[in-house]
Structure 1
């Protein structure tokens, strides 16, 4: 088994030679499991650019087969990846969880081009991602010296990818909206790295499926705006800021869409109610 240092050197070498159907004699079936082992490396270049970036590139180039992608996704969603040391906060285990979450959009990108996942597999992804959102406590964005953790943003990307699929029915979309609301209505961490915009992208993708009626969406917006401020001063200010930023981002994003005349005034009204001044 390659060490982390050996893997980095190998991926750096492969990045310099992108020609051919298989990267210069390397068997991806042997390399990818090692990449998944170190997907939570604290080396930001290895984790973000070389492991995640290479998986994205090889997927776009159709170098990863459907069977291999199925194995990658199954590994990413297991207890040693997406749920690795779940509940910890402020530790390095967060990188394994959050970059495993990013495998969902990669797998669904391949599925969108060449369908290979069953409806049961897609629904399993949705259920595990929603469970992850409920259990994740470490919401840090950029970690100095170690790079992006970004749990909320990565989960949002997965939800956005899932929302576009026909396999997701009205109840699935409703479950995803609830998860987005729970994610944004936190008083434990102030989102400062555009998490609100990534979550809004997921919410708008859900709305675009036209399976969630306007009244349901408005009730969901109201539930976010009405989240009680009953903690400490610091907790209340964190919660107020997170919900305000989200509603503001949602308002401006919905303005870009057609036929939102019922939604946008209500979102603005709820945002104004959340303002102190």
Structure 2
């Protein structure tokens, strides 16, 4: 049994008598464990620190990223929904592979289990964890920002019985806003991803508001605020202006009016 708490208390030093490859494999398995104390506890902090400090060499980090990309197809929901957290660590460190983006793009709008928190499994947070990775990919020069914006729209339009209640809408709006800070975005790309959303809202009939529509509207309202005030790359950082701010605010208002002016 690996004592992850002892590693944490030793300022994350690799313990004597343990092979780093063995430890990374154990950490990878821990981040898919159904026990939330294992999956979201000390092993998570150890892996994040070792990636951030470069304790894990680049080739092994890349292999870990491949493992996480494959995990998007895992039958266990907690394995799928924690994979983007690890990929986010890796991409933030500077690691990248186009196949990771492709795997994420297949999974994110298709994930059907959108529970934020489960009494036995703990945090699942598919939408929020995926949003964090979407925003990180959205800033990578290798990734077309329009692709991530379109992917966000797909997630918002996907049918679901779940009304998000654990700030998933805010997290997705923040990820969209981060992507919209890209200087290479055209005005058409900065606003065009809203077109399928506008069409979906125009087609709404009478009756109760579907869960996906409630989720979508709350996400767009938060995005309007971020468009007005800017996106903060860190809590204590100055806000960064979104590209084509005026046109984006106008289009967001028009899309919201599709519902509120009925």
Shorter-chain TM-score: what band? Answer: 0.7 to 0.9
Distance 2:197 2:120 in 1: 34
Could you tell me which runs of 5 or more consecutive residues in structure 2 were left unpaired when the two chains were aligned: 231-240
- Measure how far apart 1:28 and its partner are: 2.2
Instruction: Tell me: CA distance 1:268–1:231, structure 2 relative to 1, closer, same or farther (3 Å).
Output: closer
Note if 1:68 corresponds to 2:43: no
Aligned residues: 248
Note if 1:263 corresponds to 2:257: no
Note if 1:180 corresponds to 2:149: no
* 1:121-136 to 2 correspondences below 5 Å: 121=97, 123-136=98-111
Q: Give the secondary structure class of the aligned counterpart of 2:113.
A: coil
Distance 2:87 2:206 in 1: 36
Distance 2:118 2:207 in 1: 25
Q: Give the secondary structure class of the aligned counterpart of 1:145.
A: coil
Tell me the residue number matched to 2:139: 164
| Aligned residue among 8, 16, 26 for 2:9 | 16
Note if 1:155 corresponds to 2:130: yes
| Aligned residue among 74, 87, 98 for 1:84 | 74
Could you tell me which runs of 5 or more consecutive residues in structure 1 were left unpaired when the two chains were aligned: 1-5, 86-92
Tell me the residue number matched to 1:89: none
Distance 2:206 2:30 in 1: 39
Instruction: Tell me which moved more, 93-102 or 200-209.
Output: 200-209
The root-mean-square deviation of aligned C-alpha atoms, in Å, is: 2.3
Q: Deviations over 1:63-93 (max 9, x none)?
A: 1111111111111111xx22112xxxxxxx1
- Measure how far apart 1:130 and its partner are: 0.2
Q: Deviations over 1:160-210 (max 9, x none)?
A: 111111212xxx322221211111223412111111222122212222113
Tell me the residue number matched to 1:105: 88
Distance 1:252 1:95 in 2: 32
* 1:46-61 to 2 correspondences below 5 Å: 46-61=38-53
TM-score (norm 1): 0.81
Is 1:98–1:154's contact at 8 Å kept on the other side of the alignment? yes
Note if 1:36 corresponds to 2:10: no
